[in-house]
Amino acid sequence: MKASAFVYPWDVVGDPEAAERIAGLGVRQATLASAYHSTRALTPRHPRHRIVTAAHAAVLYRVDDARWEGRALRPYAAGEWAPGDAYGEAACALAEAGLDVHTWVVLAHNSRMGAEHPSTSVVNAYGDRYAWAPCIAQADTRAYLVDLAVEAAVRPGALGTELESLGWYGLAHLHAHDKIGGVGLGDAGQYLMSLCFCAACRAGYGGHGLDADDLASTVREALEPVWRGDVPSEGGWPVVEKLLGGEAAAATRVWREGVARSLQETVVAAVRAAAPAGFQVLLHADPVSYHCGANAGVDPGHVLSVADGVVVPCTGGVGPLTPFAEQGRDAAVLAANFTVVSGMGGSPGTLADDAARAASAGATELRLYHAGLASDGDLDAVRAVLTGPA
pLDDT, residue 218, reads 97
pLDDT confidence of residue 52: 97
pLDDT, one tens digit per residue, over 343-353 is 999 999 999 99
Q: What CATH number corresponds to the domain at position 160?
A: 3.20.20.80
Query: Does residue 184 lie within any of the structural domains?
Result: no
Number of domains composing the chain: 1
Is residue 187 situated within a structural domain? no
- Which residues constitute the domain of residue 281? 2-122+131-175+257-387
- Any domain includes 229: no
Residue 232 lies in a domain: no
CB atoms within 10 A of CB 301: 13
Residues of the chain with pLDDT under 70: 175-183, 389-390
Is 188 contained in some domain? no
Taking only the tens place, the pLDDT of each residue in 121-139 is 999 999 999 999 999 999 9
The dihedral formed by the CA atoms of 374, 377, 380 and 381, expressed in degrees to the nearest 10 = -90
Residue 359 corresponds to which amino acid? A
Instruction: Establish if 70 belongs to a structural domain.
Output: yes
CA Rg value for the chain = 21
Give residue 232's pLDDT. Answer: 76
Distance between CA atoms of residues 5 and 337, nearest Å = 10
**Does 355 reside within a domain?**
yes
In a domain, 244, yes or no: no
